[in-house]
């Protein structure tokens, strides 16, 4: 296997290269309404097998009431009142979810992954959030490597403004021709609105006969896009601090982040923590 899979207590799934020091890119995948990170774990595992240098982060949305679904509580990146143009302006909670994605991007940049080696991706509501967030990241650094939107749309249009310098971010959008939920005309209108605001690199691909879902051909096309915008580049690998140079606090933090807390139970010597972190990075666990 090319990656180590970690499931965190908040529902986030991490697929990390078995040798952590080989990571040179990061791909975040956001699930759709009512789903969790598990919904796209199989797709992420397949993509990871073809992109051994990429770390995958699959967060789970907070549980909240969704107006469109009769007020039922479910994992949702923001409230959805309806999918008509007027209702799509009411997206309570989208700012918090946008901030969460931005923090995840910043966290990867803090360990040495450049923003142009990061992709935001998502399905349906998750794709909408990825588009909304990716084109409005803070100015001052390069655009993302790309954005992947599967069966998604542009949410909260009135609050959407592309950050200067991010106009040429590559956007790939796949959509089923018979999608009964996010209809094809909504996808086309989203493309038009994003382009009106300055986007210059937006591709929309239609899949005949596909409803609100993804199929093997679309996954293959997503992989091709990722391989184009994230080619292998060893010069972009993260720079990790040697475990022997880390403090106990840093070692415990690395162990917690990797979801290895149980393996460290009963440790009393610093050497034990060092060896655990080192073995994890070398893909021995």
Task: Find where tokens 């596909």 sit.
Answer: 210
Catalytic residue among 97, 179, 190, 221: 179
d(CA 30, CA 120): 8
| Cα separations in angstroms, 15 against 103, 132, 194, 273 | 18, 24, 31, 22
Neighbours of 112 (CB within 10 A): 14
Of the candidates 54, 25, 40, the residue with the CA atom closest to the CA atom of residue 218: 40
Catalytic residue among 46, 212, 213, 275: 212
Q: Clarify whether 212 is annotated catalytic.
A: yes
CB 155 within 8 A of CB 129: yes
CB 135 within 8 A of CB 162: yes
Q: Clarify whether 22 is annotated catalytic.
A: no
Q: Clarify whether 124 is annotated catalytic.
A: yes
d(CA 142, CA 7): 30
Catalytic residue among 124, 130, 151, 190: 124
Catalytic residue numbers read 124, 179, 212
């Amino acid at each position: 296997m090319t990656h180590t899979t970690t499931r965190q207590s908040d529902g986030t799934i991490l697929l990390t290269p078995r040798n952590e020091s080989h990571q040179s890119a990061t791909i975040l995948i956001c699930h759709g309404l009512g789903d969790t990170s598990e919904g796209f774990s199989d797709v992420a595992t397949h993509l990871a097998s073809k992109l051994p240098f990429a770390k995958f982060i699959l967060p789970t949305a907070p549980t909240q009431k969704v107006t469109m679904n009769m007020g039922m509580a479910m994992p949702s990146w923001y409230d959805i009142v309806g999918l008509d143009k007027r209702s799509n302006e009411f997206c309570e909670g989208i700012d918090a979810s946008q901030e969460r994605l931005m923090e995840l991007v910043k966290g990867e940049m803090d360990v040495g992954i450049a923003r142009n080696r990061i992709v935001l991706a998502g399905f349906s509501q998750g794709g909408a959030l990825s588009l909304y967030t990716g084109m409005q990241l803070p100015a001052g650094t390069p655009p993302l490597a790309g954005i992947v939107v599967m069966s998604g749309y542009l949410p909260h249009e009135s609050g959407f403004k592309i950050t200067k310098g991010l106009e040429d971010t590559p956007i790939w959008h796949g959509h089923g021709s018979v999608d009964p939920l996010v209809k094809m005309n909504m996808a086309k209108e989203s493309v038009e609105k994003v382009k009106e605001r300055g986007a210059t690199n937006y591709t929309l691909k239609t899949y005949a006969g596909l409803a609100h879902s993804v199929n093997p051909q679309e996954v293959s096309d997503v992989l091709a896009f990722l391989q184009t915008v994230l080619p292998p580049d060893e010069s972009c690998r993260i720079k990790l601090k040697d475990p022997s140079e880390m403090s106990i606090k840093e070692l415990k933090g690395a162990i917690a982040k990797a979801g290895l807390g149980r393996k460290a139970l009963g440790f009393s010597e610093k050497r034990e923590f060092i060896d655990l972190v080192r073995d994890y990075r070398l893909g021995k666990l």
